[in-house]
Structure 1
Amino acid sequence: MRIAVASGKGGTGKTTVAVSLALSAPGRAALLDCDVEEPNAALFLKLNGIEESAVTVPVPVIDESACTSCGECARFCEFNAIVHIGTTVMVFPELCHSCGGCALVCPVDAIREEPVAIGTLACASVSRAGESSLRIIQGLLSIGNAMSPPVIRAVKDRSAAEQEAGAVDVFEIIDSPPGTSCPMGTAVTGADYVVLVTEPTPFGLHDLDLAVKTVRKMGIPFGVIVNRSDSGDDRVVRYCGREGIDLLLQIPEDRRIAEGYSRGQPLVESAPEYRSVFSALAVRMKTSARPASGGVQ
């Protein structure tokens, strides 16, 4: 069961909801922090045995002694990562999407691919109430790199590999990047259910509408959680009613939650009554989810 927690904009409380679901989900659970440009879920958890590894992507390297400057590689590349000027062929690794096509079309095999690090994975076990275990897998994009989808896929692939190796089925909670662009789409792909977190403001409603259109186009069941629900008006509630969207939960402003957040304390610890609420939500979403989609994509 994979639940992706997303939002049309940042700052709505997406990570707060993701961490709360991970700490409250029944049985084994895994929290995948796919907000790789600014991962922060680990700040609210007590980690044990952190393991780090590099995330790499293949990038083309030109063998100038074999290159005939035919320009086939540059003509093939849609991202302008390879440029052919006269007798010179230049590679711009930061633009490369690692499709491997340039090496395939080279008529003289003058292109090879070498791995280049673009980020890191951090994996750890998490202390959680009761006998159930929780695993966190976090991706972090390297500074100066703009290609976050490969790091997001690496997080999801690592979780799938751990589950296969342990022959266990877990509740996966995916903390997605904010917005509705490629990183968010990569994170929610393969999810069985998407939770859209928003706030009752004009900006919140505008970006929620974009997120709703995105997940509807992807054909994934979804529902909405309104955070700080008493800080604005009822525009989001009325929107959900008009659109026939499942309103999962409204979280009012609570000083305990705000103070706990400032100390790095999860919502379900600063306001313990929410633990049973999020546990029930996880079960409810499982019954509303689409049929299992197979491996993590």
Structure 2
Amino acid sequence: MNIAVLSGKGGTGKTTVSTNLALALKANYIDCDVEEPNGFLFLKPDISTEEKVMVEYPIIDDNSCTSCGACVNVCQFNSLAKVKDDIMLFQKLCHGCGACEIVCKYEAVTYDKREIGKIEKGTAREINCSRGVLNISEPMAVPIIKELLKNLSGEINLIDCPPGTSCNVVNALKYADGAILVTEPSEFGLHDLKMAVELVRMYNIPFGIVINKDDEKENIIKQYCREENIDLIGTIPYSKATAVLYSKGEILYDDLHHKILFDNLSKETKGVLAWS
């Protein structure tokens, strides 16, 4: 079963929930937040393999190219531009669709590959861990996310999604059988939670909500869950002790109080999601 952990905004505690819940569920941890994959800072796995992620990009042969502009006109991503009598390529905008090569009548376009990031895999505390790392200045994370998720095991896989509701999240969510939405009891948290809820409902994915930094009182998130008939998996109380452990880069699950908390979240997750 593949469980996606996402949030409508950054800073809600998505990775905190993901890493500790992975330990409670004894699940494979997969960090798809490739622009800032910080789950390994807490789990500290022994990395055993590292694999480059490559994408294709066009190469234009100046000797064959007539600068007719057919490749420019067909490109939907503006990675090609005609400047006077020359065709300019913006490599990092190219999606490798191959359309420019197809429409070129002069066979002036071929493809090569370049590295945009890497995938690291290892183990920590008897669970398998993997993450994607996007190279600095690279704009497209989706190829790494797809490569990271293409051969998931039949076990429990916990997917730590990117923050927000962008195409990066959508591509991670495509592999999910269930979802956990992490939020905080604030107006910003509620605003962005609603977008995340709309996204998982669009894909008809069973989901529940975890409230981080909960004040243990009635709040706008709990009220929203009741009004929308959304299952509340559980809460993580607002606590100085939690913040201290987090600031030290320590796993909350090692602390007895937090272990009980995440074991309960694990149990409730199994109840809320269509478990298999």
TM-score class normalised by the smaller sequence: over 0.9
What is residue 148 of structure 1 aligned with on the other side?
Answer: 141
Residue correspondence of structure 1 range 43-82 to structure 2 within 5 A: 43-82=41-80
Distance 1:64 1:281 in 2: 62
Q: Structure 1 CA distance, aligned partners of 2:32 and 2:47? A: 20
In 1: Cα distance, 2:16 partner to 2:227 partner: 27
Greater CA deviation, 259-268 or 221-230? 259-268
**1:24 is matched by which residue type in structure 2?**
A
What do the CA deviations read for 1:78-116 (whole angstroms, capped 9, x no partner)?
111011234311110111112111112212221111111
1:283 to 260, 270, 273: 270
Task: Determine the structure 2 residue equivalent to 1:194.
Answer: 179
Whether the aligned pair in 1 keeps the contact of 2:8 and 2:183 (CA below 8 Å) is yes
TM superposition shift of 1:256: 3.0
2:30 counterpart letter in structure 1: L
Alignment equivalent of 2:210, drawn from 209, 220, 225: 225
- What code does the residue aligned with 1:202 have? E
- Distance (Å, rounded) in 1 between the aligned partners of 2:51 and 2:69: 36
Tell me how far 1:30 sits from its aligned partner. Answer: 1.4
Q: Give the match for residue 261 of structure 2.
A: 274
Aligned residues: 274
Secondary structure of 1:287's partner?
coil
The verdict on how the C-alpha distance between 1:143 and 1:234 changes in structure 2, with shifts beyond 3 A counting, is same
Give SS of 1:272's match. Answer: helix
Structure 1: distance between partners of 2:243 and 2:44? 19
Where do residues 160-171 of structure 1 align in structure 2 (5 Å cutoff)? 160=152, 163=153, 169-171=154-156
1:213 to 198, 204, 208: 198
Q: Give the Å deviation of 1:206.
A: 0.6
Equivalent pair of 2:149/2:175 in contact (CA under 8 Å): no
Give CA-to-partner distance per residue, 1:131-166, whole Å, 9 cap, x none. Answer: xx3111111111111111111112112x43xx3xxx
**Equivalent of 1:117 in 91, 115, 118:** 115
1:69–1:87: 8 Å Cα contact kept in structure 2? yes
For 1:150 and 1:238, the matched residues in 2 are separated by 38
The answer for unaligned runs of 5 or more in structure 1 is: 128-132, 164-168, 290-297
Asked if 2 retains the 8 angstrom alpha-carbon contact of 1:4 and 1:193, the reply is yes
What residue is the counterpart of 1:254 in the other structure? 239
State the Cα RMSD in Å.
1.7
CA distance in 1, matches of 2:128, 2:232: 28
Unaligned runs of 5+ in 2: none
Which residue is equivalent to 1:292? none
Decide whether the 8 Å contact of 1:20 with 1:278 is kept in 2.
no
Letter in 1 for 2:184: E
Distance change in 2, residues 1:288/1:49 (3 Å): closer
Cα drift, residue 274 of structure 1 = 2.2
Q: What TM-score, normalized to structure 2?
A: 0.93
Are 1:25 and 2:25 an aligned pair?
yes
